Structure 1
Amino acid sequence: MEEKEETMNISSYDQDLQHKTILVGDSSVGKTSLLVQFDQGKFIPGSFTSTVGIGFTVMLLGDSGVGKTCFLIQFKDGAFLSGAFLATVGIDFRNKVVSVDGLKVKLQIWDTAGQERFRSVTHAYYRDAQALLLLYDITSKTSFDNIRAWLTEVHEFAHQDVVVMLLGNKCDVASGRVVRTEDGESLAKEYGIPFMETSAKTGINVELAFTAIARELKQRSASPDERKFQLNQYIESQKKRSGCCGL
């Protein structure tokens, strides 16, 4: 009985997530205040800084337990959540504004559930993402082996021009490593996507991953037919500078 009730809740949650409302209108008409009133049930007096004019959606994908939520929190708040916590249910998101060549770029980052039972929920959101960060755990061979299946889903559900980056997370856990750096590099090369190893715990390459994505998306939006910025070259140059995680 309990299992049936959970299935019904998931189905209902799936339907709810596929409805979206977008606020449009001139600057200063009160869109942000309206959203805050709905979300928090209160009005915050004073002036808001205008919503950032350029923004992109980035989606985190990968098996449950690879560290997607910790990865996002490390980037958003510069903190690591130690200890066990509940797996993400369906979709969660955070916003962060980064500076790219003096321009403020807003990233809306979607943290997705890795469990199979929530796939129908996450599939509905693939098309709306401009970039996908695909994570595996370097201490879990299974999470690495499943990357091909994730990439198949990306090919099936995501936009053709979506930016994809492969990340080998938990590179701080050297003693538990079962996936070699070379294996990640080889797989990324096979699919023609950039790759780096990261640590949600120490912050290694977390900022770099999002900054690189923001730079690529900004370049595409500014001049889609003129690609001066090379994502792979930028990542490689930054990795050599830091020299972390054995990269």
Structure 2
Amino acid sequence: MADNMAEDYSYDYEYLFKIVLIGDSSVGKSNLLSRFTRDEFNLESRATIGVEFATRTIDIDGKRVKAQIWDTAGQERYRAITAAYYRGAVGALVVYDISNSESYESVSRWLREMKDHADANIIIELVGNKSDLDHLRAVPTEEAKNFATENRLLFTETSALNAENVELSFHQLLKSIYEMVSKHRFDMDDYGAQKQSTSGPTITLTPTPKDQKVSNGSNCC
């Protein structure tokens, strides 16, 4: 019985997409991750040390799509560690805090870093988090939206605290990736997007936890 359950679990998706969360420290990346994957929010979360990840499987056009979402540390001293985690990523959420203009100004630097380390076809979404702090807003919505349009990025404003648009932000990114894969614009073996074999076990092409240095379990915003 246990063997059958394990076998069923290994076939619970048809596509596996690696997504990276990037942005400055304290913009809320870890709480976006926990809200989407576990519907949880931690008010007393601490800075992520290194890298951690979580997964969630959703339905897109009748296909089971599993998102493997990596939360990279925003602190400068960990950038050398996080650079390796762009490998195999087919999507990225670049997160800033709408109440912190400095975190928004850092977006251009994060985009340049991705250009250096990620595949050219990676799909990127700009996410203005902490929309619940609208009374403290430092980054106008239209300014960020125009920046996203100019740089061909998807765009959403979210609140991990009250869950506003968190589902939307991840779903529209995953749907865009799925549409790209469906049009064969990604080489699925090269970029980490895998289609499940119907005649054998699923082959994981993205890094597995045992190959990575994961976080110490702490989270950030």
TM-score band (shorter)? 0.7 to 0.9
Q: State the alpha-carbon separation in 2 of the partners of residues 123 and 111 from structure 1.
A: 12
Q: Which has the larger radius of gyration?
A: 1
8 Å CA contact 2:24–2:74 kept in 1: the answer is yes
Q: CA deviation at 1:98?
A: 0.6
SS of the aligned residue for 1:173 comes to: helix
- Name structure 2 gaps, 5 residues minimum: 186-221
Correspondence list, 1:62-81, <5 A: 62-81=23-42
Corresponding residue for 2:219? Answer: none
Q: State the alpha-carbon separation in 2 of the partners of residues 98 and 128 from structure 1.
A: 20
Residues 1:219 and 2:188 aligned together: no
Q: Which whole-Å deviations, capped at 9, do the CAs of 1:153-209 have from their partners, x for residues lacking one?
A: 111111010000100000011221111101211211221211111111111111111
Corresponding residue for 1:38? Answer: none
Aligned length: 182
Q: CA deviation at 1:224?
A: 2.2
Q: State the alpha-carbon separation in 1 of the partners of residues 166 and 5 from structure 2.
A: 32
Q: Which whole-Å deviations, capped at 9, do the CAs of 1:137-161 have from their partners, x for residues lacking one?
A: 0010110111111111111111010
User: Following TM superposition, where does structure 1 have runs of at least 4 consecutive aligned residues deviating by more than 3 angstroms?
Assistant: none
Q: State the alpha-carbon separation in 2 of the partners of residues 110 and 204 from structure 1.
A: 21
Counterpart amino acid of 1:163?
I
Correspondence list, 1:208-247, <5 A: 208-224=168-184
Cα RMSD (Å) of the superposition? 1.6
Correspondence list, 1:1-247, <5 A: 47-48=5-6, 49-51=8-10, 52-82=13-43, 84-224=44-184
8 Å CA contact 2:35–2:160 kept in 1: the answer is yes
SS of the aligned residue for 1:124 comes to: helix
- More relative contact order, 1 or 2 (CA 8 Å, 6+ apart): 2
TM-score, with structure 1 as normaliser: 0.70
